[in-house]
């Protein structure tokens, strides 16, 4: 249950190409996030899986069955809305029982399932209350219970935690993750919050202008972004436009304004103009007398932000933007003051090369 295949999904709203031939394969029990800025098509894709948006083209298969034209109420799915969408005129128990009653169940059977669903989301005491009497986090848990009680093959979640405060959001993220693992349920989770996507997902699909730019495990997305968009959208980076000048096996060399930097993992198809990027936490901060090596750049500290566990350094290296270096605070670690000259250094394997990105 819960094997999903989307092929060439296409949707236009007037001149806006909301979904541009999107294909996606989600395996049973997998947790996949659709990550992107507002207007990238992630919600349109999610709603099309629920049948709430009618696709202009393409196919949606759930467990091998073509559901592209199937009305929403005939699809075995669960959907969790950003604003919870609990029925305000029904009690919590009635809300949860709704999907079961619609399926013709009644009596003790429903009672048992509702009680179990309330236990699953740890809110048995909310049974007879009205949704309006619950807090946002509680309402979202009830919405989750309501979506899960019918045992759907596919759970769709549309930014379910974005209305919650940070602490509650983090708690709910872990709970949901735990729940989907325990129930072995396939989940597709829409979010614009990269941290949320990284924490929860088996795989992340980063969407941009109606397309999936890149899909992969959180580590892949963060460490090996394949486009400038993914690089910028997920995490911070020091980005330099350059030219690919040499390649030996997996290793390559990029020319950035006369300086040569090394990297690994540039795709075979890549050549000519490329972008060269290093994440701030990959950078080592060394005193000016450090021995010369590959992948170094010297500069002067412009700004220091102490965050407790780490320190953010902004280093002037004679480029448009300062270099960012995030350094873990340990006793005795090198901690230069504003104005000090420093050497920045990184490993070739920590650098990222992306194609064609002239800024």
Partner 1 sequence: MNHGATADQVVPDAPVRAAPRPNLLDLRPAAWMLSPALLFMLAFFALPLSTLVWASFHIYEPGSTVPTGFSLKYYVAVLTDPHYLTIMGTSLRVAAYATLVCLVIGYPVAYLMAISGRTRPWLQMVLLVVVFTPLFVGVVVRAFAWTVLLRSDGIVNGLLLEAGLIDTPIRLLFTETGLVIALTHVFLPLMILPIASVIQKIDPNLDEAAQTLGAPPRTRVLRVLLPLSLPGISAGCAMVFCMSISAYVIPTLVAGGRLLVMPVVVAKNFMVTMDWSAGAAMAMVLVLLTSAVVAVNTFFFERRSRLMRAQA
Shortest gap between Cβ of 144 and partner 1 (angstroms)?
Answer: 12
Give the residues across from 17 on adjacent strands. 12
| CA gap 263, 280 in Å, rounded | 15
Q: Which is nearer to partner 1, 146 or 169 (CB)?
A: 146
Q: Which is nearer to partner 1, 114 or 254 (CB)?
A: 114
Q: How far apart are the first and last CA of the chain?
A: 45
216 is an interface residue for partner 1 by CB under 8 A: no
Cβ atoms 343, 296 nearer than 8 A = yes
Piece in contact with partner 1 (CB under 8 A), picked from 18-26, 124-132, 228-236, 333-341: 124-132
78 is an interface residue for partner 1 by CB under 8 A: yes
70 is an interface residue for partner 1 by CB under 8 A: no
Among 287, 282, 294, smallest CA distance to 327 is for: 282
Q: Collect all residues with Cβ–Cβ distance below 8 Å to 330 and sequence separation of at least 6.
A: none
Return the residues of window 18-57 that contact partner 1 according to CB under 8 A: 50-52
Shortest gap between Cβ of 102 and partner 1 (angstroms)?
Answer: 5
Strands (E), 159-237: 186-191, 203-208, 211-216
85 is an interface residue for partner 1 by CB under 8 A: yes
| CA gap 194, 218 in Å, rounded | 10
| CA gap 246, 269 in Å, rounded | 13
DSSP string, 237-302: -EEEEEEEEEEETTEEEEEETTEEEEEE---TT--EEEEEEE-GGGPEEE-TTSPP-SSEEEEEEE
Piece in contact with partner 1 (CB under 8 A), picked from 69-77, 110-118, 187-195, 271-279: 69-77
Task: Determine which residue in the list 13, 87, 306, 334 makes contact with partner 1, applying CB under 8 A.
Answer: 87
13 is an interface residue for partner 1 by CB under 8 A: no
77 is an interface residue for partner 1 by CB under 8 A: yes
> C-alpha distances in angstroms, 71 versus 11, 18, 100, 263?
17, 21, 18, 50
Shortest gap between Cβ of 106 and partner 1 (angstroms)?
Answer: 14
| CA gap 144, 82 in Å, rounded | 11
Task: Determine which residue in the list 12, 16, 65, 72 makes contact with partner 1, applying CB under 8 A.
Answer: 72
What contacts 24+ positions apart, CB below 8 Å, involve 160-166? 160/80, 160/81, 160/82, 160/189, 161/196, 162/82, 162/191, 162/192, 162/193, 163/82, 163/83, 163/136, 164/136, 164/137, 164/140
Return the residues of window 125-144 that contact partner 1 according to CB under 8 A: 129-130, 132-133
340: helix, strand or coil:
coil
- Report how many residues bind partner 1 under the rule CB under 8 A: 31
123 is an interface residue for partner 1 by CB under 8 A: no
Shortest gap between Cβ of 149 and partner 1 (angstroms)?
Answer: 9
Shortest gap between Cβ of 166 and partner 1 (angstroms)?
Answer: 24
Task: Determine which residue in the list 14, 15, 38, 74 makes contact with partner 1, applying CB under 8 A.
Answer: 74
Task: Determine which residue in the list 5, 68, 83, 227 makes contact with partner 1, applying CB under 8 A.
Answer: 83
Cβ atoms 34, 189 nearer than 8 A = yes
Return the residues of window 102-121 that contact partner 1 according to CB under 8 A: 102-103
33: helix, strand or coil:
strand
Shortest gap between Cβ of 151 and partner 1 (angstroms)?
Answer: 11
319 is an interface residue for partner 1 by CB under 8 A: no
| 239 backbone dihedrals φ, ψ, rounded to 5° | -115, 135
Piece in contact with partner 1 (CB under 8 A), picked from 9-17, 74-82, 165-173, 260-268: 74-82
Return the residues of window 144-173 that contact partner 1 according to CB under 8 A: 146-147, 150, 156
- Under the rule (CB under 8 A), what is the footprint of partner 1? 50-52, 71-79, 81, 83, 85-89, 98-99, 102-103, 129-130, 132-133, 146-147, 150, 156
């Amino acid at each position: 249950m819960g094997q999903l295949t989307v092929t060439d999904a296409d949707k236009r709203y007037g001149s806006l190409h909301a979904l541009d031939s999107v294909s996606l394969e989600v395996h049973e029990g997998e947790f996949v996030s659709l990550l992107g800025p507002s207007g990238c098509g992630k919600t349109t894709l999610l709603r099309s899986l629920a049948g709430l948006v009618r696709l202009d083209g393409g196919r949606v298969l759930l467990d091998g069955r073509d559901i592209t034209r199937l009305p929403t109420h005939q699809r075995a799915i669960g959907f969790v809305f950003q604003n919870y969408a609990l029925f305000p005129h029904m009690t919590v128990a009635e809300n949860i029982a709704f999907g079961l009653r619609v399926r013709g169940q009644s009596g003790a059977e429903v009672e048992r399932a509702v009680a179990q669903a309330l236990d699953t989301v740890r809110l048995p005491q909310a049974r007879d209350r009205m949704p309006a009497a619950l807090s946002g986090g509680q309402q979202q848990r009830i919405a989750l219970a309501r979506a899960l009680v019918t045992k759907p093959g596919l759970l769709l979640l549309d930014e379910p935690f974005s209305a919650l405060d940070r602490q509650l959001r983090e708690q709910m993220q872990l709970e949901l993750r735990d729940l989907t693992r325990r129930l072995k349920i396939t989940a597709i989770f829409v979010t614009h919050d990269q941290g949320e996507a990284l924490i929860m997902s088996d795989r992340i699909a980063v969407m941009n202008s109606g397309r999936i730019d890149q899909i992969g495990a959180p580590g892949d997305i963060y460490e090996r972004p394949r486009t400038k968009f993914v690089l910028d959208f997920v995490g911070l980076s020091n980005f330099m436009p350059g030219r690919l000048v040499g390649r030996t096996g997996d290793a390559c060399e990029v020319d950035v304004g006369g300086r040569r930097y090394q990297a690994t993992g540039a795709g075979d198809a890549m050549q000519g103009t490329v972008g060269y990027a290093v994440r701030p936490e990959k950078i080592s901060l060394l005193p000016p007398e450090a021995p010369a090596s590959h992948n170094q750049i010297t500069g002067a500290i412009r700004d220091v932000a102490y965050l407790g566990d780490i320190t953010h350094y902004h280093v002037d290296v004679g480029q448009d933007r300062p270099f960012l270096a995030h350094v873990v605070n340990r006793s005795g670690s090198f901690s230069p003051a504003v104005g000090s000259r420093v050497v920045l250094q990184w490993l070739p394997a920590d650098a990222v090369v992306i194609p064609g990105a002239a800024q």
